Structure 1
Amino acid sequence: MRITRPLLADSVLAATLALAGVGGTAFAGDASRAQVPIDLRGFALFVVPALALAVRRRLPLPVLAVVAASTSAYLVLGYAYGPILLTFMLAVYSAARHAPWARALPAAGAALALTLIHLAVPGTALGLLGVVPVAAWVVVPFSLGFTLRVRHESAARARAEAIRRSVDDERFRVAQEVHDIVGHGLAAIKMQADIALHVLAKKPEQAEVALEAISRTSSQALTELRATLAVVRRSGAEGELAPVPGLARLDELRRRMAAAGVWVRLETSGSVRALPDAVDLAGYRIVQESLTNVLRHSGAGQAVVTVGYEAGHILLVVSNPVTAGPPDVGDGSGIIGMRDRVRALGGDFTVGPTSQHRFEVRARLPTGVQP
């Protein structure tokens, strides 16, 4: 049997209780004139169950059976009340704390029945009046053990639920990152591929430019995707393949969008300052996804990105002209992902057409930093 920390602690407890209890048992036997004087048999009936407590967590019900039988014999033989009652109550507590409820309750009832036997022996000091205090030897430790067990199981379930929620949140975060990276890259690649196919026969030099843009876009998307997955795997070396995207890289995003066919104007207001990593990344992804939607769904080929540094917040607005009917913004995974990012940070998010015949994505994120 492998020695674990609980087993070692219980062994020390059992040995200490056995050694200290011998003296207590001898004192109780000498002090009581109404009981049978303590002898070697009485000491044995105390020491054996005390030592059995060494395995009270691994074998709580067998230990309770041994302790209850020894305690009952000890009391029936007329020895004085003493430390053996502490051993008995500890065994009852251990059964309630560590054994299945369906088996611990009947076992505690049987232990109570065994200890009640000595009350029927002629000459017992308590007689039948002792039923209530004897029952307390079982009810009190059993209730304490059961209460602590329920509390421990409840805490374990709470921890498991917290871990599950954490895993779900991480899975959702990774799904958002992959969606934004891959979706943006594929949209730009498709646009360039369409251009290349259109001009291939008449203007092969322009087709070559489009193919080069496809190569750059796919390489950037793959690098960013590898960096994201490396962070998930907690691989520090791979995690440094690319910097974490942030608003400082919006100009780079603007150039990529221009190569894909969408002209973007960047506007900034307020004092530019460093942002928390989560806010910086979320802001970049919101702008990226919004421009990707412009590339996919808008025929205008232009957009305006406004970044406003406010007191304790940052305001992001991406707008583009509406060239056809108002787009459907209800259930797209990109819109849902942006909204979830903003809500996770405690911000405000709106999306839809405006009165100026433009389509607008507006996100206001708290930064916790005053300008």
Structure 2
Amino acid sequence: MSGDRRSWRHGTRGDVLLAAGTGLFVVLTTVIGEGDPVGLRPVPATGWLLMLAGCGALAFRRRFPVAVGVVTLLASMIYYPAINPDGALLVTLIIALYTLGSAGRILAAAVIGGLAIAASAFGEYGTEASPLGDAGMFLLVSWLVAAVAIGAVMHSTRREREEALRRRATEERLRIARELHDVLGHNISLINVQAGAALHALERDGAGGPATEALTAIKETSREALRELRGTLGVLRQVDEEAPTAPAPGLRRLPELAERSRAAGLAVDVSTDGDPVDLRPAVDLAAFRIVQEALTNVTRHAGAGRVTVRIGYGRDDVTVDVSDDGRGAGTRAGGGSGIDGMRSRAEALGGTLEAADRPGGGFRVTARLPYGGRA
């Protein structure tokens, strides 16, 4: 986003400089007459206003290309029949037509250019003045058509370049997806198979207890991880495929997540405050991942016996609150693990995340994610 802002500021500054330079050129060509390099030709107040309007409009040519085209057209149509001496005010219309063409507004450029040609033809052939002559009329039409054509070519070239960059990014994304599938998919599948085989051997021998529960948790967790991995890879491939193999996880799968933590020996209470809201996929996924990471930290580092997960649906945002009764951050082995990642997820969507010890003991993670997220 900062790069887009810098680009916008650079473009605006360039347009202001272009407007100033064009204004200087128009003024000089107007006040300095041919064959009279010393004296300056007087220009009425209306002429100055029209030159100011036409040249000043160019400072906004990229933000409002159609409006700038209309302003420069009107300024030229009023100036040339009514104001003496003549100048190069028409160059503002030529620049505006080029801008329209380069922005892909070909229809608007054609309409404005056509009106300019029609008005010039009426002034040339519909009156007795005939200020341009046949050669001048041909040159005028050529300049206007060339401005639109060159702008259109620039627009097409830019689109092709952007498409090439997008195609390379897609190819790189698919390459990463294939690489992830080959490495992670194989290893997770192997973990799942080995856990299942060990579990089967224990059940065959009549053994049970913590070892069986741990292997069951490993098998279920690895199967879930494999399913999520395939879903994520499907999202990466969705440019070329109709749909991912599995939907991205969200808060609707919070009961499954809690059940897996319970299988690992952690008591998990899940509650919801407010009326549930259909969240944007990015917000839904971030909320789920924050809960998942918080539960993982509790299981690995907190030494907790119970954890409470609360999902609150407010007017503007969803609140994710995960509290445990274990050790605080200062006494945990590997304390603080995953906090930066959770905070980055929240901030990427325009939200916040706070993580701190609870006054009565334990640790608490609270994230607030706006429903709209960040565009």
TM-score relative to the length of structure 1 = 0.49
Radius of gyration: which is bigger?
1
> Which has the higher relative contact order, 1 or 2, with Cα contacts under 8 A spaced 6 or more apart?
1
TM-score relative to the length of structure 2 = 0.48
